[in-house]
Amino acid sequence: MMIRDRTENRVKKIGLAIALSLTTMMAGVSSRSVAADTDPSIPPVASLDDGVWMKGDLHLHSRHSQDSSNNPVAKIIGFAEKTGFDFLAITDHDNHVLGDVAHNTWTDPEFKSDKVVLLYGAEWTTDRGHGNVFSAKPYDHQRLYDVRDERDAKILAVKKKLGIHLSANHPAGKDHFGFSFDMVDSIEVWNSAIWSKNAEAMMIWDDMLRSGRKLTGRGGSDSHHGTPDSPDKATKNSIQRTANYVGTPTTWAFARTRTPQGVVDALTNGRVSISANPYDPRVELYADRDQDGRMDMMMGDNAQATGKPVSFEVRLVGNRIQGASYTVRVIKNGEPFGTYQASGDKLTVTFTDTPVAGKRSYYRVEVEGPQTPYPEVPNSMRLSGNMIALSNPVFFNFDPNF
Ligand SMILES: [Zn+2]
Ligand SMILES: [Zn+2]
pTM value is 0.90
pLDDT at residue 174, rounded to an integer: 83
pLDDT at residue 320, rounded to an integer: 87
pLDDT at residue 38, rounded to an integer: 59
Find the 218 Cα to ligand 2 centroid distance in Å: 14
Q: What is the mean pLDDT of residues 121-134?
A: 97
Give residues with Cβ within 8 angstroms of 114, minimum separation 6.
none
The DSSP bridge partners found for residue 349 are 314
The sheet that has 310-317: what strands, in order across it? Answer: 297-298, 282-288, 310-317, 348-353
Over residues 284-328, the pLDDT tens digits come to: 999 999 989 999 999 999 999 999 999 999 999 998 888 999 999
Over residues 235-289, the pLDDT tens digits come to: 999 999 999 999 999 999 999 999 999 999 999 999 999 999 999 999 999 999 9
Q: What is the mean pLDDT of residues 132-156?
A: 98
Torsion sign over Cα 173, 240, 125, 271: negative
Find the 89 Cα to ligand 1 centroid distance in Å: 14
pLDDT at residue 334, rounded to an integer: 98
Radius of gyration of the chain (CA): 20
Question: What value does the mean pLDDT of the chain take?
Answer: 91
Over residues 190-246, the pLDDT tens digits come to: 999 999 999 999 999 999 999 999 999 999 999 999 999 999 999 999 999 999 999
pLDDT at residue 34, rounded to an integer: 41
**pLDDT band of 41, cuts 50, 70, 90:** confident
Strand pairing category for 52-60 and 87-90: parallel
Find the 170 Cα to ligand 2 centroid distance in Å: 9
Q: Are 98 and 138 in contact (CB under 8 A)?
A: no
Over residues 66-106, the pLDDT tens digits come to: 999 999 999 999 999 999 999 999 999 999 999 999 999 99
Find the 60 Cα to ligand 2 centroid distance in Å: 7
pLDDT at 154 over 80: yes
Q: Are 112 and 81 in contact (CB under 8 A)?
A: no
Ligand with smallest separation from the Cα of 223: 2
pLDDT at residue 175, rounded to an integer: 86
**pLDDT band of 5, cuts 50, 70, 90:** very low
> What is d(CA 15, CA 243) in angstroms, rounded to the nearest whole number?
7
pLDDT at 27 over 80: no
Ligand with smallest separation from the Cα of 169: 1
Torsion sign over Cα 386, 326, 350, 46: positive
Ligand with smallest separation from the Cα of 168: 1
Find the 279 Cα to ligand 2 centroid distance in Å: 23
pLDDT at residue 12, rounded to an integer: 38
> In the chain, pLDDT over 90 holds for what percent of residues?
86
Ligand with smallest separation from the Cα of 171: 1
Ligand with smallest separation from the Cα of 192: 2
Ligand with smallest separation from the Cα of 92: 2
Find the 61 Cα to ligand 1 centroid distance in Å: 10
pLDDT at residue 265, rounded to an integer: 98
Ligand with smallest separation from the Cα of 60: 2
322-356 burial, b at 16+ Cβ within 10 Å, e below that, comes to eebebbbebbbbeeeeeeeebeeeebbbebebebe
Q: Which residues crowd ion ligand 2, with CB under 5 Å?
A: 123, 222
Q: Are 195 and 384 in contact (CB under 8 A)?
A: yes
3-state secondary structure the chain: CCCCCCCCCCCCCCCCCCCCCCCCCCCCCCCCCCCCCCCCCCCCCCCCCCCEEEEEEEEECCCCCCCCECCCHHHHHHHHHHHCCCEEEECCEHHHHCCCHHHCHHHCCCCCCCCCEEEEEEEEEECCEEEEEEECCCCCHHHHHHCCCCCHHHHHHHHHHHCCEEEECCCCCCCCCCCCHHHCCEEEEEECCCHHHHHHHHHHHHHHHHCCCCCEEEEECCECECCCCCHHHCCCCHHHHHCCCCCCCEEEEEECCCCHHHHHHHHHHCCEEEECCCCCCEEEEEEECCCCCCCCEECCCEECCCCCCEEEEEEEECCCCCCCCEEEEEEECCEEEEEEEECCCCCEEEEEECCCCCCCEEEEEEEECCCCCCCCCCCHHHHHCCEEEEECCEEECCCCCC
Find the 167 Cα to ligand 1 centroid distance in Å: 11
pLDDT at 29 over 50: no
14: exposed, middle or buried (C-beta count within 10 Å: 0-12, 13-18, 19+)?
A: middle
Nearest to 92 by CA among 119, 118, 68: 68
Ligand with smallest separation from the Cα of 91: 2
CB atoms within 10 A of CB 21: 10
> What is d(CA 277, CA 389) in angstroms, rounded to the nearest whole number?
9
Ligand with smallest separation from the Cα of 62: 2
Over residues 328-384, the pLDDT tens digits come to: 999 999 999 999 999 988 899 999 999 999 999 999 999 999 999 999 999 999 999
CB atoms within 10 A of CB 174: 12
Find the 24 Cα to ligand 2 centroid distance in Å: 32
Find the 246 Cα to ligand 1 centroid distance in Å: 16
Find the 265 Cα to ligand 2 centroid distance in Å: 22
